[in-house]
């Protein structure tokens, strides 16, 4: 039995849960999210106890995985519509900079041309200064995916540490060539 899947998801007072067939919708102060869960999993909402419970036939290994996944996805949806998610990136390097122009993120990270990344709907991307990027949204998966795509434009390299990295990310540095006598 999935340990994570067994825990009920607590629903705050300002969040509304809707179940229609295999579709769950979570609506809160920051917005609304919908998700279609797997047919192997059964989801029930207890309005009196203000909690969502997930159950599955745990005889099959795949169902145990879906059990925990479904519970985690519902938990992430509840947190997303109440608090939201945020990822922060920093651009490190001489002449490297980032800016938001309309609905695109512009990155100058050492290539001949400026990189233009269209910002997906549902995300709010800001640049407090030219070396920091803040990505906010209610969908944890969308926030993380866009942050990973921006980082993949120019990953931090190990010699000088230049590139786009997550805030607080430790980059393993290598020693360069040394001259011997």
What tokens were used for 94?
């001489």
pLDDT above 80 for 181: no
Q: What percent of the chain has pLDDT over 70?
A: 98
Q: What is the pLDDT of residue 10?
A: 93
* 141 three-class SS: helix
Laid out side by side, the sheet with 23-28 consists of 16-20, 23-28, 31-36
pLDDT score recorded for residue 151: 96
pLDDT band at 64; cut points 50, 70, 90: confident
Chain-centroid distance, C-alpha 28: 18
Instruction: Over range 59-65, report the average pLDDT.
Output: 87
Residue 34: pLDDT above 90? yes
Q: What confidence category does residue 9 fall into, taking pLDDT thresholds of 50, 70 and 90?
A: very high
Residue 70 has pLDDT above 70, yes or no: yes
Q: Is the pLDDT of residue 179 over 80?
A: no
Contacts of residue 168, defined as CB under 8 A and 6 or more positions apart, other chains included, come to none
Asked whether residue 1 carries a pLDDT value surpassing 80, the answer given is no
Q: What is the mean pLDDT of residues 133-140?
A: 96
Confidence (pLDDT) at 138: 96
The pLDDT tens digits for 103-136 are 999 999 999 999 999 999 999 999 999 999 999 9
Q: List, in order of start, the domains of the chain with CATH numbers.
A: 3-82 (3.90.930.12), 85-166 (3.90.930.12)
Structure tokens at 113: 């041309």
């Amino acid at each position: 039995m999935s340990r994570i899947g067994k825990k009920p998801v607590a629903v705050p007072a300002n969040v509304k849960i809707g179940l229609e067939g295999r579709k769950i919708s979570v609506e809160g102060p920051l917005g609304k999210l919908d998700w279609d869960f797997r047919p192997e999993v059964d989801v029930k909402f207890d309005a009196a106890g203000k909690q969502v419970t997930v159950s599955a036939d745990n005889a099959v290994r795949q169902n145990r995985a879906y059990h925990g996944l479904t519970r985690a996805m519902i938990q992430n949806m509840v947190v997303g519509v109440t608090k939201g998610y945020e990822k922060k990136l920093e651009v490190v390097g001489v002449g490297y900079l980032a800016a938001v122009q309309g609905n695109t993120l512009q990155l100058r990270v050492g290539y001949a041309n400026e990189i233009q990344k269209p910002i997906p709907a549902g995300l709010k991307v800001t640049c407090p200064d030219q070396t920091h990027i803040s990505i906010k949204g209610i969908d944890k998966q969308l926030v993380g995916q866009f942050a990973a795509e921006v980082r993949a434009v120019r990953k931090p390299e190990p010699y000088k540490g230049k590139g786009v990295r997550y805030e607080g990310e430790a980059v393993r540095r290598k020693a360069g060539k040394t001259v011997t006598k």
